[in-house]
Amino acid sequence: METENHWIIGIIGLIESARLDLSDEKRLQADLAAVFTSAGIPFTREMVLSARDIPDFFIEDGTAIECKLRPAQKTAVYRQLQRYASHTEVTRIILATNLSMTLPATINGKPAYMASLSKGWL
């Protein structure tokens, strides 16, 4: 469990320390893919969990990473994360965002984390 916590803290730190293009989600996703590739983190872009549920990034251990930029609606984002967490393939969720919002510690029993996209620009 401690190794898992170090790993997830490392992923969040990697996201938060990067200066990513926040002008639109596609550019953000391209920049984040480059960050993961440079760090040697294997991932799948837009992993299809179902016709409706396609996280932006899926890491082999079951981590789903969703990118959201302002002015996304917080309730819609949360519902989307709930759907992702309902899939057995998903073991945890990271929301990478510049939205001012919080998440509960778990969503549908899966650990949920936030990565602030603004921190890389501070």
Domain ranges within the chain, ordered by starting residue: 2-121
Q: Identify the bridge partners of residue 110 per DSSP, sorted by sequence position.
A: 107
Q: How far, in Å, are 42, 55, 74, 101 from residue 77 at the CA level?
A: 25, 12, 5, 10
pLDDT tens series, the chain, 122 aa: 556 678 889 999 999 999 999 999 999 999 999 999 999 999 999 999 999 999 999 999 999 999 999 998 999 999 999 999 999 999 999 999 999 999 999 999 999 999 999 998 87
CATH 3.40.50 correct for 2-121:
yes
Query: Which of 8, 22, 45, 34 has its CA nearest to residue 120?
Result: 22
**Rounded Cα–Cα distance for residues 86 and 68 (Å):** 19
